[in-house]
Every structure is written in structure tokens, then in C-alpha cells.
Chain A
Amino acid sequence: MPDALILERGATVAGRTRGYPVRREGPAKLSGAAKYTDDLVFPGAWYGTTIRSTEPRARLLAIELDPAIDWSRVIVVTATDITGENLISAIKEDQPVLVPVGGEIRHHAEPVALLAAVDRETLRQLRPHIRLVTEPLEPVFDPEASEHVFAEYEIGGGDLDAGFAGADLILEGEYRVGHQEQLYIENNAMIAVPAEDGGMAVHGSLQCPYYVHKAMKKTLGLSSAQARVIQAETGGGFGGKEEFPSIIALHASLLARKSGRPVRMIYDRHEDLVATTKRHPAIIRHRTGVMRDGTLVAQDIEIVMDGGAYCTLTPVVLSRGALHSGGPYRCPNVRIRARATRTNTAPNGAFRGFGAPQTEFAMETHLNRIAERLDMSPAEIRRRNVYELDDTTPTGQVLRESVAAQEVLRLAVEASEFERVRAENRAAAAARRTGPNGVFGPSSRLHSQAASKATGIGLALAWHGAGFTGSGEVHIGSVASVELTSEGRVRILIGSTEMGQGTNTIFPLMVAGELGIVADHVDMAPVDTAFVPDSGPTVASRTAMVVGGLCIDAARRLRAEVEARHDGRPFAEVYLADAIAHGPTRIDQRFEPYPGVNFDDATYRGDAYPVFGWAACVITVEVDLDTGEVAVRDVVAVDDVGRVLHPILCEGQVEGGTLQAIGYATIEEIKLDNGRYLNDRLATYLIPTALDAPRMRTLLVEAPFSGAPHGAKGVGELPMDVGAPAVVAAIHDAVEVWITELPATPERIIAALDDQADEPVRGIA
């Protein structure tokens, strides 16, 4: 990639910004000028709200409006107001926009009716006067008992029986993970504005404008031109604004259409927690055959994910989870069986990592237990099994390039002094063990005069398939455009969204670098489906790699075309004159399959991903022996992202993802009662504060991908895969118990310590 670091503004702060430009929309965000959805003003707009079910499963018999109330002050929308299809466009279209009378309510927060009024107070007064008449049906909450299967996969190769037969040791383990909320600080929000031609524009907080666009066309019966989606400044997404915005956009649009005025649909935190998608809970079972030297010879893995009430993106989440479930380790005999089922809980959906954090937590923890059983260092067992160049994965994919697993592992172990610290912790644990009672447990905690805290260090390693799974990119056929405007500016037109990760900043850098001009002369077009092409969804850490690659290719073509008109003189010298003389030049670049990358969706054989990113994480914790509380003190994160496009933004992705993983490991938990989330407020669903967050050091590794012109492989999701197993490994290093169900709450740690006291010699079955 040519040097893109030609700067004007920002150059004065080169030391701190390391020569890279500051975040492009940063000044607007820092001054309060940036306009998020709820900051937008539309004169005459009404406020919308959603009437939801309060039962996990029921037949809807009637929607009754209290006759004593004057309903002329509000607009009421039910399923009968839907002129197009009453289905939200998705992989399997099973979710109604609003449950019709006679239809089945399938979860606690299911939308049944919509209200709009001039102010929020009117809505508050009238909401309780809508009554849902229902006939209860038997709900299903156990994903293993559910007979409705959303998706099922079996992946594998080799001879499992022969693998186990030849193994020195066979070890089994079961691991469980619960829901996790994305908890973007800006709630889901959408404002619908009716157009005179019968069309509808929505302004909102979203990741994927063309998902919303498609949903509007289908349900509202609009043409492509009549449906318009405009992204407002977006206050975080993490997957939580991938598919859900379609629902809220449709709801706002239905109210706007019926009322003939703009309608604001701004969720409060409680509604956002109750109704929007979460990370899929999962149960993962491992049976592993291993040789005494640590070599993996057989892996039998079973995964069950809880999809919730509707399919959403579950088949793809499950697919990614299954494909990553063996971890970044070679094993000749593998069987991975995965299924996702329906339960009567709110639908689960996309969340950073997309199925992989669940299954990689299980694999990493299981591998650590194997290492313990073999009396081998967690680093050593990884060194012996981790993928190298030309190794083959369970789908038969040969890793032909960009395999940095050993490198990230080595760097993380060295930078954290993992072996030395671990030896010290082991010695401290041994000293505690030979205390007054010889074992951990309540009695030793009561009587020991020793330190009330124990320190532990833990290691985890992960791989993360870059971009879409399988043939996803080929099916989507994304387009990105680069234009030299008649005013002599270069403009990037993409449907990819900035939601904090840095798209607005790195794209001008990439294009300017290719054109040999300063990044400040390159503009980003606003994300508005009336102007930007469908570049695919802003998900799967694919934006920098895939869409960035398209923009670089488009810029190359633009450069060639303009230079050809000026006897081959450099673009930078001639583009202003060219714009004046020739008018605008626009290049639309469509995705072409990466050479040599083939996947068979039917058999699940072939190249599941064009390339993989690799991450290692070493985490230090302190466990309070009296309370079981875990404090995460220090993190060394090492991530191979292919190519670092902007080190500060890239580190920001690693640090933020790591803390989300630490939250997942320690405090983030949804408790359910009869299918309803009990802790559905920010006072009860906790995420890490600055005091909970550890000191973090990030090391970036570059093993470029030859299929992308700049070599980038994406970064967003990588850190999410390694944080939780590293925390659990560190807890074990501190107090010698394995936590197999996330989060590792004080209650679970105390319970495990008590079990250990009862049963001091406790291995895995």
C-alpha cells in the first residue's frame, strides 16, 4: 500500500497521533455538534411507542381499546394496517412486524400494536388502556428440549473412532454461556418521515442501511426509490444495530404513514434491553483425544445455541460458532455437530464475534484443562497444536497464507512474562494450600492468616475468520464507488457505516494513498440510500478488508483513467484541471471473488473464510478469597489484523473489544424468569466501568492477506474471542478452580471453591 500519511491538519500533533490524522468526525463529537437520531428535529413530529406482549407464548385473540377513552388524540396501528407483507425480511422470514389477531405471540416483548401522539405524556397516559386478550400456550425455554430447529450443521473430517482409539487420554467437558447485551450507549432510535410521493424516509441509528431499505420495500410495499434510509450519527452498534433497526424503522414508518407526519421512535434503555437482540446463549460439549505430548488427535464437539423466538441471523451465528469451535488447532479427526433451536424468549442476534466467542471460550477452557491434566504449560500445549502454514482445518481448508498464530502467542507470552508470573502464582497457591487446613474452602478462608487475595494469570488464543462465512461475499456482491467530482474533490460513496470504529477516517486515508493526494481532499458521502451503493452490511469486521479493498481498486481505476487523459502525468498534478475540463468521473467497483477461495455451502467443505485473523490475550486477575470477586488488573492483547491502517483506531478496537469480553467473563449476565429478562435496566444489567477496566497493552501484528489490495483482515471481532477464556484461565491460576459457565460471578467462584474443599482431588471426567 502506498504511503497514505500525507497530512495537512493534524500534522502539528504528529507525536501523539503518530503521524496519523485524528478521527474525522471527532471535533463534531467532542463539541456536542454531532447529530445522533434523537438530536434531529423534524417540525410537527409525533412520538411513537410500542405495545408489547407480556406473556412468553399465547394466542392473540383481540386487541381492545378502552371505550371510556377518547382515542382521537392518537394514531393506533395494528397488523391490519400493514399493506405489504407482515414479515421482517431476514434469512428465514418468520417474524411478524406486528402479531395479528389470531396469531401467536412467541416472546415476552413481542410487538402487537403501535401508538403515536403529539407528546410522550399522552402516550404514557393511554398505553395502559390497550388490553390484549390472549389464550396462554405452553412456552419452551430449554433450547435442548425445543423441537423447532432453526439450523443444524455437521462439520468434520478424518476418522473420529480411530482418533479416540489411538489417544493416550480422553477428556470431556461441558461449558455454558448466557445472553450478553451489546449495550451501545445510544439506544436504538429511528425517525420516519413520509414523502409526498407515498414514499418514506427513515433517519436512524443503524449499521446496515440496505437491510432496512429491503425491509421497508417488503412491508410497506415501496419501490427502491420510494424507500430511503439515512444514517444519523450512530452511538455504537456491536451487532445490536445489525438486524434490529429494520423492526423499529418499520414501526416508525407505519405510524408515520397512518398519521401523515414524521414519527420519532426512540427507545429508552429499559425497552432497548427488553426487546432488542442479545448474544446467543450456548451449551458446548467437548470430548477430546490427546497424546501424552499434548498432540490433539480427536475432537468431538456438540453445540446447542438458543435462538430465541425468531430466526433472525441465527443460522449464520451458529455457522460461525461451529466453524471456530475447534479453536486455532490442527487435529486430524474432528466432528462438530451444531444446532440452534427456538425458545420463547426475545430473539437473539448479532453481537461482536457472532457465535465465535461462545465456542472459543469453551475450546480454550477445555484445552487449558487438558494442559493441566498433562501437567503442561498452557502456552506449551498451544505451541504444539496451533495452526501453521499449509495446515488443514476441519472443513478441508488449507491455510495457504497469513497464519500468525505462533507469532501472536509468542509475543503475548513474552510481553506478559507469562511463564515467570505463572510460576510465582503457582508457588503462592501451593503455599496457601499447605495452610492451616491444607485445602481451599470456607474453613481455610475463615482460619487462614494468609493474604485474602490471590493473583492469577491466564492465556487464550483465537482465530477469527475474516469477512463473511463461506460464499457470503459472492452472494452479496458489494459495490463501492469513488468519484472525482466536478468541483475537484474526491468522494467515497459506500453504504458502510461509521459507528465509532473509524470508517470515516481510514477510508479517505486508503483512497488518498492510492491517488497520491492528501486525505483531507477526500470526502465521505453521507450514508443515504438515495446516493450511496449497497456495500453490504457493516458487520463481520469486513468493512476495512472488503469494502476498503473495493475502494482501493476503484481509486486505482480512477487514477488510471484520469492520468490517461493527461499523458500519464500523476493524478495529484492533474485532477483539478481534469475535473474542470472533463466533469465528474465515477468508478463503481463490484466485489469479485477472491482467487482460489471456494466453499460449498451444501457440504460445508472448502474455504470457510478467505483468511483468518489471529489473537492472543494474557490477563491478570486478583480473586478475593472471601467474596469470590474478580478484579481484572492487566491485559496484554496481541492481534494480527493483516495490515494496520491507523494504529490508534486499531488499538481502540482491540481495547474496547477486550473490555466487552471481560464484561462477558465477569459481570454481564441476564437472568430470566418465565422467559422474561429480570435485570432489564442499566441499574441491574452491569457493564464494566473505568474502575473495573484493567490497564491494557496492545501489540499489533501484520500478516497481510494477499486477496485484499492493502492486506487488511479486519480487527473488530478478534479481541472478543480471547478475553473471556483468558479471564477464566487466570481465575484458575489464582484459586485452582475451573469456571465452566459464564459469567464467572462471585457466587459461582465461591461455589466452586466450596466444591473443591469437599473434593480436593478433582479432575475432569
Chain B
Amino acid sequence: MSAIGFLVNGEPVEVDVPGMRRLLDVLREDLGLTGTKEGCGEGECGACSVLLDGDVVDACLVPMCQVDGRIVRTVEGLAVSAREPGGLDVLQEAFLQFGAAQCGICTPGMLMAARAYLDAGGGPDPDAIREGIAGNLCRCTGYQKIVDAIAAVAAGEVAS
């Protein structure tokens, strides 16, 4: 066990866990951030996608020893830019309006992948968006409305 300190959604936290404990379990079980989901546990589905220093990672594949001193962002931290408490940010609002979330289990991970794509300067080109979310499986939507929602945000067409 060792003390590992990092930032989660802007808040400093310290956990005393084995170095090989998965970031996913620390988020969900130790910090109660259950917005991040487990879909496969082996890095194939992307349901547990979070941002680690701004890059999309599968939290099921990240051991805590790699998280010390770093910045983690989860779905719970997306709405900090919302205009009102409990509101949604522009990306979440776009997903809501376009019908990009159905069962919702892939949605947190999908939002994080989309956030990373947009933060990296990604534009509204559908092929580029598809590339950006190719690591995140959705079984409900056929992806069309997800791509449309991200494109609308990239084009500045959605207000939060």
C-alpha cells in the first residue's frame, strides 16, 4: 500500500491503495464516482474512459501507481462549465438534444472521448469524429446521433 495523490475533477485527493489497484476501482469504489462505468475490464469497450492529463485512457487498464501527481477528469467533472449548478455543459447538452444517449452506459466514456477530441481542436468533420470515438463502443445508437452531436459542438452550434 502506498499513498497516491492526484487531482480528480479539480479536487486534490489522496488514497492509500496497492499500486496495481485499477484507477477504475478507486474512482468507483473508493471515491464514489460511479459515473465511470466498467464494460469489459480489458480496454476494448471504452465505457471507463477518463481523461488523464487530458488524454483519453481506459481506467480499467490504468494502475494507481501511474496516477500519482496527475490530473484525472471524469464525467462528473464535465459539467463544471455549466451555467447553473446541476446543469449540463455544451457537449452534454448536445448529446441530450440530438438523442445521442440511449441506454446511457457508454455515454460517460463517450463524452470523455468527445471532450478530448474537441479539446485537441477537433472539427466537425464526421470522419475525424468517428476516428476520435472509435475506441468507445455503443450498442444502442448506431453512432449517427453521437457523431451529429459532437459535430454540432465543434461547429459552435450548441449553447449550454
Residues of A with Cβ closer than 8 Å to B?
13, 16-17, 22-23, 25-36, 38-39, 182-187, 233-238, 268-269, 499-502, 648-649, 651-652, 655-660, 681-683, 687, 689-691, 693, 695-696
Contacts and interface: CB of A to CB of B under 8 A. Distances in A.
Nearest to B34: A39
The 5 closest A-B pairs by CB, nearest first: A32-B35, A500-B103, A235-B105, A29-B104, A655-B142
B44 A683 contact: yes
B45 A682 contact: yes
B98 A32 contact: no
26 contacts: A13-B97, A22-B96, A22-B99, A23-B99, A27-B88, A31-B75, A38-B28, A39-B34, A185-B47, A185-B105, A185-B139, A233-B104, A235-B103, A236-B102, A269-B39, A269-B45, A648-B145, A649-B99, A652-B142, A655-B141, A655-B142, A656-B139, A682-B45, A690-B136, A690-B147, A691-B130
Contacts of B36: 32
Interface in B69-118: 74-76, 78-79, 86, 88, 92, 95-99, 101-108, 111
Nearest to B38: A38
Interface string B16-41: 00000000000010000111111111
Interface string B40-82: 1110110100000000000000000000000000111011000
B74 to A, nearest CB: 7
A764 to B, nearest CB: 33
Nearest to A686: B44
Nearest to A681: B42
Contact of A32 (B39, B75, B138, B145): B75
Interface in B135-158: 135-147, 152, 158
Contacts of A687: 137, 139
A745 B128 CA distance: 26
Contacts of A235: 37, 103-106
For the residues of A in contact with B, the DSSP-based class is loop
A216 B41 CA distance: 30
B8 interface: no
A552 B86 CA distance: 33
Contacts of A268: 38, 40-41
A657 B144 CA distance: 12
B102 A31 contact: no
B13 interface: no
B131 interface: yes
Given A17-B97, A185-B137, A690-B136, A236 B103 contact: yes
A690 B130 contact: yes
A32 B40 contact: no
Given A235-B104, A648-B98, 4 more contacts: A31-B92, A185-B37, A652-B99, A659-B143
Given A16-B97, A236-B105, A682-B42, A31 B79 contact: yes
Given A186-B105, A235-B103, A500-B104, A33 B35 contact: yes
A696 B148 CA distance: 11
A687 B143 CA distance: 12
A660 B142 CA distance: 8
Q: How large, as a class, is the contact surface on chain B? A: 35 or more
A236 B139 contact: yes
A356 B71 CA distance: 50
Looking at A185, A659, A695, the one whose CB has the most chain B CB atoms below 10 A away is A185
Contacts of B137: 185, 682, 687, 689
A681 B97 CA distance: 34
B108 A32 contact: yes
Nearest to A647: B99
Looking at B76, B106, B136, the one whose CB has the most chain A CB atoms below 10 A away is B106
B3 interface: no
B72 to A, nearest CB: 14
A38 B41 CA distance: 14
B107 A30 contact: yes
A237 B104 CA distance: 12
Given A268-B41, A652-B145, A655-B142, A499 B103 contact: yes
A269 B46 CA distance: 13
B144 A696 contact: yes
A237 B39 CA distance: 14
Contacts of B41: 268-269
Contacts of A233: 104
A519 to B, nearest CB: 16
Contacts of A501: 102
Contacts of B139: 182-185, 236, 238, 656, 660, 687
A541 to B, nearest CB: 15
A500 B142 CA distance: 13
B22 to A, nearest CB: 12
Nearest to B32: A41
A138 B35 CA distance: 47
A268 B99 CA distance: 28
Given A32-B76, A185-B138, A687-B137, A27 B103 contact: no
A691 B104 contact: no
Given A31-B92, A655-B144, A682-B44, A691 B134 contact: yes
Nearest to A689: B134
Looking at B104, B136, B146, the one whose CB has the most chain A CB atoms below 10 A away is B104
B126 interface: yes
